[in-house]
Chains A and B, each alone.
Chain A
Amino acid sequence: MRPTTRRILAAATGLALLAAVPACADDEKQAAENVPGVTDTEIVIGTHQPLTGPAAPGYSKISAATKAYFEHVNSKGGVNGRKIVYKVMDDGYNPANTENVVRKLVLDDKVFALLGGLGTPTHTNVLEFVKTQKVPDLFVSSGSRNWNQPDKYPTTFGWQPDYTVEGKILATWVKQQFPGAKVCHFGQNDDFGRDSLAGVEKVLGAVAAKQTYTTTNQQVGPAIGALKAAGCQVVISASIPGFTALAMGQAAGQGFRAQWVVSNVGADYTTLSNQLGDKKVILEGMVADNYLPMVGDTANPWIQEFTKIHQKYNSANPVDGNAIYGYSMAYTFVQALLAAGKDPTREKLVEAVRKGGFRGPGLTPFRYSDDVHAGYSGVRLNKVQNGAQAYFGPTYTTDDGEAAVAEFAEPPATPPADAIPTT
């Protein structure tokens, strides 16, 4: 052995022994810390969003609206004197990045809560971490039923109606309007499509034909061709906006005339018509559902208030369904924060959401309770006519289980002053 080698080896052994004694002091200090992210003047919360990458079109506008709403609230004095700081992290819709930015938000930035993390495959992978860290994980932006598992994930809550609730209601309407018709399903090949199909089949029984698409394959022609060949008269579609446009475009191109009934996730008229340009006429007659005020309904007081905020803080983006989603979710968060009391803790916030009872821009109540962490309980149908998407018929509510689809007659709430909740 050469002398230098021996010297390195000796030094290394010495250092290794030294290193074997871990420094524990700071760890214990960290464990004693409480209410992260809350000071007398600020509440820091965070989220993960696809600001770039293939999912960015449309969805990147949600967090912009949420942020604008908090700026508006902060300009009016914040919540109980605290300003809300909303840290938006780009994950590019890649679950690896999501895991990373969520850990950064929780461990490094010490956020008080997560709000509106977007996407099923992305957010599913942080559930365990969020649970062990006991971080309130509010209003995940996806209609997956994963968020509604209070026993497994006690701090995670959904917000929008889940895909099964939606599927049940859409199918109920189809059953009434098209008795005996051949009803088919077109869905994304993940839980979005599957949960939606499950809801549809709970009401209609087996559908006449079902086809799927995957986001990495833009050839939807064969699937649409198969639906046409099966003689479908109604197509219930669980698709994101890009693929709704693609599928309906293909159907028009192939001369396949059916009634399209589309999930709210992929049916925002502003988004679809922007994508289709001159071809937007194919959207005429499309039936969809929603649970928030429609953008085109300029007489709606919520739309008026949100538009005011939009023009002041978010004018770079169009007022569309994504923006309304962002505003409404932020509104619910402020409600929850107020309900958590003057000195909010993570436990109080979770408890406040479990108690629920929030009414705001949404058409139906939330399903929140001690054993349900799912969001809105129902939807109302809308239709595209003469280039505008407008509601028709009653609002329906149900659950993702065996409950019947019922009409909900209670009128929607009116916004408080400046659209900032007070209780």
Chain B
Amino acid sequence: MDRFLFLTFGGLSTGAVYAAFALALVLIWRAARLVNFAQGAMAVATAYVGYAVAAATGSYWVGLGAAVLAGLLLGALVERVLMRFVGHANPLNEVIVALGLVLLIQAVLGVVFGNGYRPAPAPFDTDALTVRGVAALSPYDLWVLGAVLVVVVLLALLFTRTPIGLRMRAAAFAPEVSRLLGVDVGRMLTLGWALAAAVGALAGMLVVPTGLGLHPHAMDLVFVVAFTAAVVGGLDSPAGAVVGGLLVGLILSYVTGYLGPDTTPLAVLVLLLAVLLVRPGGLFSSARARHV
């Protein structure tokens, strides 16, 4: 039982990070109908900025702010100077450009910062608090969970309660109608990218201290898991991303703990099939299926 509790806590803390990153993927999907394969590399780039600023100023929080700001800028930049000009002759072209961007960003980071691991100090203690002898969550895990929760609430408010959020949703779902109604669809798209990259930057800052350290490939594995989480939850649903992230985190923790570290890819596939064969649009898919 202790083992189960221990694995549950471990799964929740890693799951929270996957949730944050899945959220960034969902944001882009909602704004641009695109799975942004460059999300991981972009998050790593902003994390380098964040930790460089943190080291220079001595404050993690200034660094965190810098990373999120860098995310906003990078997201807008990628959309404005790159994605906007990708022809739509073929929907895969955007995916390929994103993959090209991954190679480019990782190579540039390798040239500028070297390929080595850089330490990524956590702002809170990473030693777990023990609950009745079981190592439970650390203060840092609590901060991650809290931060993800706050972001989810803020995004929900943005999309449902503010005019700009409503315009963004309209622009994504019905670009032609929105344009007629005077919504600047192009600007909304830029905003969507910026927002998603900022959330990705936050997720990157949260992930890096829990892994091997900061290096150009720090988010490669996280991207794959987070993509799974987003798909399990349903790409259109921020709530789905959070639930999917936590679910995947828990399952990976149980599988690693009980069956061994090698079996996780198999478990991920089983989970995906189990969810998607019942609900092909993910757990939180809206009722978009139709009859013919």
Contacts and interface: CB of A to CB of B under 8 A. Distances in A.
Interface of A: 51-54, 56-58, 60, 189, 212-214, 216-223, 225-226, 228-229, 242-243, 245-246, 249, 252-255, 274-279
B116 A245 contact: no
A279 B211 contact: no
Nearest to B211: A218
B175 interface: no
B285 interface: no
Contacts of A276: 119, 213
B211 A57 contact: no
DSSP class of A's interface residues: helix, strand, loop or mixed? helix
A58 B253 CA distance: 29
B268 to A, nearest CB: 11
A219 B256 contact: yes
B54 to A, nearest CB: 11
A214 B221 CA distance: 13
A228 B6 CA distance: 12
B212 A246 contact: yes
Contact of A229 (B3, B128, B256, B265): B3
A371 B215 CA distance: 42
Contacts of B127: 252-253, 255
B196 interface: no
A54 B212 CA distance: 11
Contacts of A216: 221, 265
B117 A229 contact: no
A158 B126 CA distance: 40
B260 A212 contact: yes
Given A225-B135, A242-B212, A253-B128, A219 B253 contact: yes
Contact of B126 (A214, A223, A253, A274): A253
B135 A275 contact: no
Nearest to A254: B135
B64 interface: no
Contact of B217 (A54, A221, A243, A279): A54
A27 B252 CA distance: 55
Nearest to A219: B256
Interface of B: 2-3, 6-7, 10, 14, 107, 110, 115-121, 126-128, 130, 135, 138, 210-213, 215, 217, 220-221, 252-253, 256-257, 260-262, 264-265
Contacts of A229: 2-3
B217 A53 contact: yes
Nearest to B13: A221
A28 B19 CA distance: 63
Contact of A213 (B3, B14, B117, B261): B261
Contacts of A243: 212
Contacts of B107: 52
B10 A222 contact: yes
15 contacts: A57-B117, A216-B265, A220-B261, A223-B256, A223-B261, A228-B135, A253-B127, A254-B128, A255-B127, A255-B128, A274-B118, A275-B117, A275-B119, A275-B212, A277-B121
A189 B115 contact: no
A249 B121 CA distance: 12
B119 A278 contact: yes
Contacts of A54: 217, 220
Contacts of B117: 57-58, 242, 274-275
Nearest to A278: B121
Contacts of A220: 261
Contacts of B6: 222, 225
A275 B208 CA distance: 12
A246 B262 CA distance: 17
A222 B217 contact: no
Given A276-B119, A279-B119, A253 B135 contact: yes
Contact of A274 (B115, B116, B130): B116
Contacts of B110: 52, 56
Contact of A214 (B7, B116, B253, B262): B262
A193 to B, nearest CB: 11
Given A217-B221, A226-B3, 17 more contacts: A58-B117, A217-B256, A217-B262, A218-B210, A218-B212, A219-B14, A221-B253, A222-B256, A223-B261, A225-B7, A246-B212, A253-B127, A275-B117, A277-B118, A277-B119, A278-B119, A278-B121
A369 B211 CA distance: 43
A57 B113 CA distance: 11
A52 B212 contact: no
A113 B120 CA distance: 41
Given A225-B3, A255-B127, A58 B135 contact: no
Pick the most buried of A51, A213, A214, A225: most chain B CB atoms within 10 A of its CB. Answer: A225
B212 A226 contact: no
Contact of A60 (B115, B118, B257): B115
Nearest to A56: B115
Contacts of B119: 274-279
Contact of A226 (B215, B257, B262): B257
A276 B107 CA distance: 23
A54 B116 CA distance: 9
Contacts of B252: 217, 219
Contacts of A213: 261
Contact of B130 (A249, A252, A255): A255
Given A218-B212, A246-B212, A275-B213, A57 B256 contact: no
Contacts of A249: 126
A219 B261 contact: yes
Contacts of B264: 217, 219
Contact of A222 (B221, B257, B265): B257
A209 B121 CA distance: 31
Pick the most buried of B6, B211, B212, B213: most chain A CB atoms within 10 A of its CB. Answer: B212
8 tightest A-B CB contacts, nearest first: A277-B119, A222-B257, A56-B115, A254-B135, A275-B117, A242-B212, A217-B261, A57-B116
Contacts of A254: 128, 135
Contacts of B265: 216
Contacts of B135: 225, 228, 253-255
Contacts of B217: 53-54
A246 B126 CA distance: 12
A189 B116 contact: no
A249 B212 CA distance: 10
Nearest to B51: A277
B227 to A, nearest CB: 15
A131 B121 CA distance: 48
